[in-house]
Structure 1
């Protein structure tokens, strides 16, 4: 679990910090964060100033109205609140210590601008956050120098509460929330847009990874974007075209050379056999050795010709093949060397070319006989809708990390070279490719001793 979490963290780290898509998103979000922060801070300052100015104007108008009413001798109606006046109004003593009169919302509260009054200020116009009211307010006050019902020098003070966004944390937190939402939208839009722009590249990559090295006729998708991605697709297809042509030339050369070599080798083989029949005792060992070399050369040519046919995917006629019968015939052809036993379930029928199936059986049995100590076991059985052929020897086996390597062309393990220096390393690759052509697999399974080759082919529908 810990390893899986670590792998996920590493995956997303690479996606965000290493991939082009991730880096572009991170850089875009970083620049957007810087730009939006500046814009939002400036906007916050402008909004704050506008709201404060609006409330300051309201407080000033209220104070001026009340002062004017007092000067006209209408003190009894001066503190009456109008519908458009939402603030607090106080008439404060000249020394700022007592509230002489107040509007209903301000009654019972201490003086709002006591410090300014004690200093003898004639005018108060500032933002304040007294403890007697929630939040902050804009305070505007005028000193009435002439006589008033409360005596000379009183201060008319009006306080308009500022909107909650203008308190210490409200507006900054609101702007941070807006900034995070905007950055999330920028990140999503950038990631989504770049992902859509790179979608054709991902498709080209997937199609390239799915290409079969033995069938280069496939081509990748070419988006009609009239840009670099379209040029990339066209270049890849052009490269595949040239690679296909080069591979076709190589296959034709191998096929033609194999065909041309078979007749001289067959003639050489026949002449060596005739010479061996007439040879004396001194030359006979040399002729036998030359005959074995000719046979090996002929086997190499046959293998190369078969590989050329497999690579070209040349169509071969298929028919129902009884896998058990084919295995029995191949076992009966074996000599008196290693003991070969068979456990064959009848009626295991597949659709394939009988010559190629016989080739697979021959290659697997020959390989098993080369590596077996004393015996080889061949098994044919059904497994659901699959025909299973198993060839097991009692040799030293193949290490798990080497099991795929034996299916590489011309690859030979050290033990194989020691037991059969004349081998070509083509038998097992040919057997696997034939199995794959008919929709099957050829693998090496675990076994207590020796190597266990297992071929699986789809059963023929309705027994053939």
Structure 2
């Protein structure tokens, strides 16, 4: 029982002190308590001031009424106080001698001393006489004539209020404020708890991902706000992770398939060569094995390039003239399908020259596989973009397959028939490089053949001056 109690205490201590819900409640209650204490102090000061004003008015009213009765000749009845008046009244001579007093002050010394009233026509002050338990507010006025002679002072005194005297008010206010603090604490704890219910549901659903897989989605609350945005972001992230996992799975499957064929062919040819007699003409078999090895090398090189692109490792970049780079790459191509160029000079881009040359090489290799008689390459400026187009006069690519050719290892039937040894990675690599440098690579409509359009941003002078020579991605 004691162990369970200690465990419960530790659990609640953790919830109160270390959880967002608990810390928020503590901060809210603390701030509210400080505000309520300030309100309490101000309320008590205002109450004290109001009570003192009430006491002063009571003393003033009593003095004025008694003085008026004495002046009218009703001195005998003047000192009989009314219910709304103070019961402490004295008539004091200039020598500070009491000549008349109300019942409550009979036989008591004067409320004010001779030094206090000497030469004064009006007394309005707080006083704490020795013969009284409480301090009083004294209001007095001097009469020119009276039954007791000239210059007497009519004085009324009302006990000063204290919060002890009116203890019910501070106690009541304190109880109300304590109730408000309790209500604030409960409301904050309850509200924060309800606000985090969707978060707890999201966490509980994410715990089950190992059993349910990435195809599972967390519930999305429809109340709007940050939590709905969090749930939608989690689901979007899960969707991207699922797509990335599926893409990786397909990638591994396709890579294994493409690697298996040349490896099997190479192994078969080498085993066959070893089984032949010593005088066997082995050169054609070795040449075939060499082609398989070259294909393996091409696949491995493409896979390594894709790995580097996926990691977004920074590589050196520089300002390039796209037309000059294109001219060099076209001139390096082996003799084959004629390539016509229309290159606008002075179209700059910022990129790694090796990677950009690979993009152009992959586009030209693809065009050479499908072209019939001619390939056209153009470079031009289009506003703030540099545009490179590669057009062949082949059979073209159907609109529904234009995005599929950019998938890894995806190859159309015509491509397989024209180049059985292709890897299906050239165009995906080209698009990845284009996107790394903030550009795009798309297939657009063309009257004949396939038109690949590469667009890259043209850097301004400030970007060139502030560039650090490293790719940002």
Query: TM-score higher than 0.5 here?
Result: no
TM-score under structure 2 length normalisation: 0.44
